[in-house]
Amino acid sequence: MDYHTAYSRTNKLKRFYRSVFLFVIFAAIILPDNIFGERIFHIRLFDAYTILAIWGLIITVKAIKLFIFDSEWENDMIEREMKKEKKPIDY
């Protein structure tokens, strides 16, 4: 792994963990507000649970992309395709 790839992956991880941290902070603020019925925040367009669910879904997609379909997987697929091109074709 070269420096540019490592730097890019580290940056993606940092942004992902920051997103998770912000999600947890906002969930800790919004959920008790709805549970105890004080309703300090009045969200009219969407319910707070809907916003957290959409945000959680986005974070899940980012996690799958980052941890399952990472750059190493992509590099392996590129190498396989390049090897296929180098093989002579048998007629």
Confidence band, pLDDT 50/70/90 cuts, at residue 23: very high
The pTM (predicted TM-score) of the whole model is: 0.62
pLDDT per residue over 38-47, tens digit each? 555 565 666 7
Residue 18: what pLDDT?
Answer: 94
- What are the Cα distances from residue 51, in Å, to 26, 41, 58, 60, 80? 10, 13, 11, 14, 41
pLDDT per residue over 53-81, tens digit each? 899 999 999 998 888 877 676 677 777 87
At 17, give phi and psi (nearest 5°).
Answer: -65, -35
